[in-house]
């Protein structure tokens, strides 16, 4: 039987609550002998800051490097608003992404049939939606130097962030997008701002070349990132795979999330390059939503994005695609049954489930598919 090392990094706010629902599924799979998960847990974000004065400890970084998959909850909250910038909760997540080399962030936005009513958009716009945002995750303005605030000495300060992309960073994320498009509807939309940004000009040039040289059979279109945001709320079904940089990907994926009914629905996978020898990719799985400190501890959090992120781990890191399909089917069935956390409630389907009740129902639906 396959054996895997999973590292849980639940983080802050609702992170531990939604992670608890994944742990139940893992425990059941272990008990049934479906897989052998060796699990360990670490601290990240504000909780790590409270314990070690850093957003993630060296020991937990080493565990993350060694894991087959890292499951990440969420970080941040008002409690840590005043901590120094380089040890703020988000720094833990950014270090994980950078040090593990997780350059490819896959953010699928799927509108479950039962949730077409929960979106703020009209039902016919979102019904049956299935798009995938491929976000570059280790470059761009998130990591570019200089990144400073300097005192100009005249009562003024200057803040600088730097957007940088090298050819190889664009090539490798473009290949991920084209490869995935081939397994879907064979279309890639590349979003940048070539009309104002040099990185956008280069992005466009490199994606065009990779397409011509290696993926000419895939349909490619270029779209300005602002227009892409508008098109996403106008008629999102025109898209299949959207490939874009780190910052635009952050923004566009929040927009895409709302198309599916709630930010509480969107999972994500962050993958590194395959190891030359073992072919194994480093990986981290996290919901797109944040730590939602306003609802932490109230049982209102939706665990679906976290559970679906575990599903992506089964698919992309653990070669258990069949179980990933079963888990997706279980989520779909529970929603079709009318179970709703507060974020996905609508007039016709009122809120009727806590975090735990939703998690339990999904586990039960999964068990019935075993
Ligand atoms: C995301 C989040 C992060 C990001 C934050 C928490 C640093 O918004 O994963 O979308 O900006 O990448
Ligand atoms: Mg974001």
Q: What's the pLDDT tens digit per position in 219-250?
A: 999 999 999 999 999 999 999 999 999 999 99
Residue nearest to atom 7 of ligand 1 (CA): 90
Domains 1-108+274-370 and 130-259 agree in fold:
yes
Cβ 116 vs Cβ 136: under 8 Å: no
Instruction: Report the run of H or E that residue 60 belongs to, with start and end.
Output: helix 58-66
How much is the pLDDT for 113?
86
Separation between Cα atoms, residue 348 and residue 335, nearest integer Å: 13
Separation between Cα atoms, residue 224 and residue 228, nearest integer Å: 6
Walk along the chain (370 residues) and give the pLDDT tens digit of each residue. 678 999 999 999 999 999 999 999 999 999 999 999 999 999 999 999 999 999 999 999 999 999 999 999 999 999 999 999 999 999 999 999 999 999 999 999 999 888 988 888 999 999 999 999 999 999 999 999 999 999 999 999 999 999 999 999 999 999 999 999 999 999 999 999 999 999 999 999 999 999 999 999 999 999 999 999 999 999 999 999 999 999 999 999 999 988 998 889 999 999 999 999 988 899 999 999 999 999 999 999 999 999 999 999 999 999 999 999 999 999 999 999 999 999 999 888 999 999 999 999 999 999 999 8
Q: Which residues line ligand 1 (CB under 6 A)?
A: 90, 93, 250, 288, 290
* Active site annotation includes 81: no
How much is the pLDDT for 247?
98
How is the chain split into domains, by residue range?
1-108+274-370, 130-259
* Ligand 1 mutation target, pool 72, 86, 90, 147, most atoms within 8 A of CB: 90
How much is the pLDDT for 361?
98
Residue nearest to atom 5 of ligand 1 (CA): 90
Residue nearest to atom 4 of ligand 1 (CA): 250
CATH fold, domain 130-259, is Isopropylmalate Dehydrogenase (3.40.718)
- Ligand 1 atom showing the smallest separation from residue 290 Cα: 6
248 CA from centroid of ligand 2 (Å): 10
67 CA from centroid of ligand 2 (Å): 24
* Active site annotation includes 364: no
Which of these, 170, 178, 148, 181, lies nearest to 246 by C-alpha position? Answer: 170
DSSP string of 277-329, one letter each residue: TT-PPPEEEEESS---TTTTTTT----HHHHHHHHHHHHHTSS-HHHHHHHHH
142 CA from centroid of ligand 1 (Å): 10
- Ligand 1 atom showing the smallest separation from residue 246 Cα: 12
Ligand nearest to the CA of residue 137, numbered in listed order? 1
CATH fold, domain 1-108+274-370, is Isopropylmalate Dehydrogenase (3.40.718)
- Ligand 1 atom showing the smallest separation from residue 250 Cα: 10
How much is the pLDDT for 280?
87
Residue nearest to atom 6 of ligand 1 (CA): 90
Query: Whole-prediction pTM value?
Result: 0.96
């Amino acid at each position: 039987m396959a054996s895997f090392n999973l590292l849980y990094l639940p983080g802050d706010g609702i992170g531990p609550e939604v992670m608890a629902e994944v742990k139940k599924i893992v425990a059941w799979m272990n008990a049934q002998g479906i897989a052998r998960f060796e699990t360990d847990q670490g601290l990240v974000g504000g909780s790590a800051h409270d314990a070690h004065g850093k957003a993630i400890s060296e020991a937990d970084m080493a565990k993350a490097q060694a894991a087959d998959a890292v499951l990440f909850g969420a970080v941040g909250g008002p409690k840590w608003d005043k901590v120094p910038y380089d040890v703020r909760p988000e720094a833990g997540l950014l270090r994980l992404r950078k040090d593990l080399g997780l350059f490819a962030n896959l953010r699928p936005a799927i509108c479950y049939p039962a949730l077409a009513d929960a979106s703020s958009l009209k039902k016919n716009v979102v019904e049956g939606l299935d798009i995938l945002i491929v976000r570059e995750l280790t470059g761009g303005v998130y990591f570019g130097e200089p990144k400073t605030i300097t005192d100009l000495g005249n009562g003024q300060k200057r803040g600088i962030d730097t957007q940088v992309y090298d050819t190889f960073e664009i090539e490798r994320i473009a290949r991920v997008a084209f490869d995935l498009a081939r397994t879907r509807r064979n279309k890639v939309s590349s979003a940048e701002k070539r009309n104002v940004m040099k990185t956008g000009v280069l992005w466009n040039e490199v994606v065009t070349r990779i397409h011509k040289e290696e993926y000419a059979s895939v349909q490619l279109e270029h779209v300005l990132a602002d227009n892409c945001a508008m098109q996403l709320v106008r008629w999102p079904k025109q898209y299949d795979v959207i490939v874009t940089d780190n910052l635009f990907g952050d923004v566009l994926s929040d927009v895409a999330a709302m198309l599916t009914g709630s930010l509480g629905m969107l999972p994500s996978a962050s993958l590194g390059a395959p190891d030359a020898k073992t072919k194994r990719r480093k990986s981290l799985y996290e919901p797109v939503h944040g730590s939602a400190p306003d609802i932490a501890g109230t049982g209102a959090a939706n665990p679906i994005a976290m559970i679906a992120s575990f599903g992506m781990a089964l698919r992309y890191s653990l070669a258990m695609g069949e179980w990933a399909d079963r888990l997706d089917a279980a989520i779909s069935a529970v929603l079709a049954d009318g179970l709703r956390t507060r974020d996905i409630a609508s007039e016709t389907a009122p809120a009727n489930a806590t975090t735990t009740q939703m998690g339990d129902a999904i586990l039960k639906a999964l068990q019935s598919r075993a």
